[in-house]
């Protein structure tokens, strides 16, 4: 995989996940995009003159060269959204990160539950998060959180104590220890799971990065469990992403006089599943207990791991957000019927799509 070209293109200001995907649909590879003429780039929807001029610039290539050296030196793995090991559930969120930096061991991504909550959690909140995460891990469920202070830390510790895998999604580079007191915990996570981020190496934990981080936390999961949250918090942002992405939102009730529980209690008032035992989580998300360690078993719901072409990825992403008619796929992606038919057939043969009556397609 030509990671240099992926990095050089993604670092261009103005290129986000959606425009990046459109560029690959037209040019097939990032290398081809970098060498394309301004007139050809202008044919891509969403392209501006400023972005076209920046593509292939010396500064972007220099950054990519340095970034590749940093990645190699730190032993970091890169997952593109075309790779077989890329978490397919992220295709359902609309703007999946084209590139993930990964430190640790690639887990089985299914089934997964996110456990999030307050950074200034109470002692009872920490115990609750750790207990639920340990039970989820023991049941063969991957625990997703953000490695922040408080509930996130308790969730990761509980998952490890339960003998399972856990994934930490960062709002900074995977080589940045944040918070610094969780450095050893991060090392422990990487022995049984991984730390991931869409941000380049060395990226600092700026406030604007965390909403983007939160969409990945919820996107990886079948549901999000909120354990203690104040009325305005990142945990509620994650819960909102969950609703937008069609995930289940669950919350642990807390004392009505506790500031730390006002946000989670409000979620329950608004219709979130009230959780007081692990069975509530399993019932809400329709997950069966697994018999094996999550890094080893193949869940019945797991998507086959196959490499994709850029256009196959676009078709898969569209159908991952809901069943689509063949004509709708053709019109949305602006491809010919023959091209779309060939791609859906290829995805069917890979076990990633199924045909429904009336020329509709859905995930298996």
Say if residue 293's pLDDT is above 50: no
Rounded to an integer, the average pLDDT of 192-203 is: 96
Q: How confident is the model at residue 325 (pLDDT cuts 50, 70, 90)?
A: very high
Instruction: Verify that 116 and 207 share a domain, yes or no.
Output: yes
Q: How confident is the model at residue 301 (pLDDT cuts 50, 70, 90)?
A: very low
Say if residue 229's pLDDT is above 70: yes
Rounded to an integer, the average pLDDT of 331-338 is: 87
Q: 2 or 152: whose pLDDT is higher?
A: 152
CATH code of the domain in which 347 resides: 1.10.10.10
Q: Is 303 exposed, middle or buried (0-12, 13-18, 19+ CB in 10 A)?
A: buried
CATH code of the domain in which 262 resides: 3.40.50.450
Whether 230 maps to a domain, the answer reads yes
Say if residue 302's pLDDT is above 60: no
Instruction: Verify that 264 and 116 share a domain, yes or no.
Output: yes
The pLDDT of residue 296 is 37
- Residue found by looking up tokens 């941000």 in the block: 199
Instruction: Verify that 253 and 143 share a domain, yes or no.
Output: yes
Q: How far apart are CA 142 and CA 160, in angstroms?
A: 10
Domain boundary among 71, 96, 130: 71
pLDDT over 90 percentage in the chain? 76
Instruction: Verify that 208 and 265 share a domain, yes or no.
Output: yes
The pLDDT of residue 231 is 83
Instruction: Verify that 143 and 238 share a domain, yes or no.
Output: yes
Whether 305 maps to a domain, the answer reads no
Say if residue 290's pLDDT is above 90: no
Whether 84 maps to a domain, the answer reads no
The pLDDT of residue 2 is 83
Instruction: Verify that 187 and 40 share a domain, yes or no.
Output: no
**Mean pLDDT of all residues in the chain?**
91
Q: Is 301 exposed, middle or buried (0-12, 13-18, 19+ CB in 10 A)?
A: middle
Instruction: Verify that 60 and 209 share a domain, yes or no.
Output: no
Structural domain span for residue 170:
104-285
Q: Which of 317, 338, 355 is nearest to 94 (CA)?
A: 317
Whether 95 maps to a domain, the answer reads no
Instruction: Verify that 269 and 160 share a domain, yes or no.
Output: yes
Domain tally, the chain: 3
Contacts of 246 (CB under 8 A, 6+ apart): 92
At 103-154, the pLDDT tens digits run 999 999 999 999 999 999 999 999 999 999 999 999 999 999 999 999 999 9
Whether 295 maps to a domain, the answer reads no
Instruction: Verify that 130 and 64 share a domain, yes or no.
Output: no
Three-class DSSP labels, the chain:
CCHHHHHHHHCCCCCCHHHHHHHHHHHCCHHHHHCCCHHHHCCCCCCCHHHHHHCCCHHHHHHHHHHHHHHHHHCCEEEECCCCCCCHHHHHHCCCCCEEEEEECCCCCCCEEEEEECCCCCHHHHHHHHHHHHHHHHCCCEEEECCCCCHHHHHHHHHHHCCCCEEEECCCCCCCCCCHHHHHHHHHHHHHCEEEECCCCCCCCCCCHHHHHHHHHHHCCCEEEEECCCCCCHHHHHHHHHHHCCCEEEEECCCCCCHHHHHHHHHHHCCCEECCCHHHHHHHHCCCCCCCCCCCCCCCCCCCCCCCCHHHHHHHHHHHCCCEEHHHHHHHHCCCHHHHHHHHHHHHHCCCCEEECCCEEECC
Whether 292 maps to a domain, the answer reads no
User: Hey, which residues does 324 pair with through a beta bridge?
Assistant: 361
Q: 334 or 301: whose pLDDT is higher?
A: 334
Q: How confident is the model at residue 299 (pLDDT cuts 50, 70, 90)?
A: very low
pLDDT over 70 percentage in the chain? 96
The pLDDT of residue 291 is 59
Query: Which two structure tokens, joined as six digits, stand for 106?
Result: 């690639």
Say if residue 295's pLDDT is above 70: no
Q: How far apart are CA 238 and CA 285, in angstroms?
A: 17
Instruction: Verify that 314 and 280 share a domain, yes or no.
Output: no
The pLDDT of residue 89 is 94
Rounded to an integer, the average pLDDT of 32-37 is: 94
At 70-114, the pLDDT tens digits run 999 999 999 999 999 999 999 998 889 999 999 999 999 999 999
Q: How confident is the model at residue 260 (pLDDT cuts 50, 70, 90)?
A: confident
Q: How far apart are CA 147 and CA 196, in angstroms?
A: 11
Instruction: Verify that 130 and 186 share a domain, yes or no.
Output: yes
Whether 99 maps to a domain, the answer reads no
């Amino acid at each position: 995989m030509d990671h240099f070209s992926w990095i050089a293109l993604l670092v261009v200001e103005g290129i986000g996940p959606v425009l990046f995907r459109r560029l690959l649909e037209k040019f097939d590879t990032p290398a081809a995009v970098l060498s394309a003429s301004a007139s050809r780039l202008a044919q891509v929807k969403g392209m501006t003159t400023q972005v076209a001029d920046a593509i292939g610039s010396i500064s972007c290539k220099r950054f990519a060269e340095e970034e590749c050296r940093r990645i190699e030196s730190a032993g970091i793995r890169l997952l593109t959204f075309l790779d077989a090991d890329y978490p397919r559930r992220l295709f359902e969120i609309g703007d999946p990160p084209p590139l993930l930096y990964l430190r640790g061991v690639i887990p089985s991504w299914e089934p997964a539950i996110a456990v999030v909550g307050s950074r200034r959690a109470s002692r009872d909140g920490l115990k609750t998060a750790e207990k639920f995460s340990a039970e989820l891990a023991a049941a063969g469920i991957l625990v997703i959180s953000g490695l922040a202070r408080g509930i996130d830390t308790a969730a990761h510790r509980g998952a490890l104590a339960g003998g399972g895998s856990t994934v930490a999604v960062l709002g900074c580079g995977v080589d940045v220890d944040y918070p610094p007191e969780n450095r050893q915990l991060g090392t422990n996570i990487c022995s049984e799971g991984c730390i991931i981020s869409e941000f380049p190496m060395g990226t600092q934990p700026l406030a604007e990065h965390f909403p983007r981080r939160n969409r990945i936390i919820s996107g990886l999961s079948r549901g999000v469990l909120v354990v203690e949250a104040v009325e305005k918090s990142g945990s509620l942002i994650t819960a909102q992403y969950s609703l937008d992405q069609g995930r289940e939102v669950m919350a642990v009730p807390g004392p009505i006089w506790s500031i730390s529980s006002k946000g989670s209690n409000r979620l329950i008032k608004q219709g979130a599943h009230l959780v007081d035992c692990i069975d509530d989580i399993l019932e809400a998300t329709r997950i069966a207990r697994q018999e094996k360690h999550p890094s080893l078993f193949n869940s019945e719901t797991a998507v086959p791991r196959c490499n994709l072409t850029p256009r196959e990825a676009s078709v898969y992403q569209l159908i991952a957000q809901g069943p689509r008619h063949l004509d709708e796929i053709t019109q949305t992606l602006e491809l010919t019927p023959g091209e779309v038919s060939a791609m859906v057939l290829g995805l069917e043969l890979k076990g990633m799509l199924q045909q429904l009556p009336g020329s509709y397609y859905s995930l298996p």
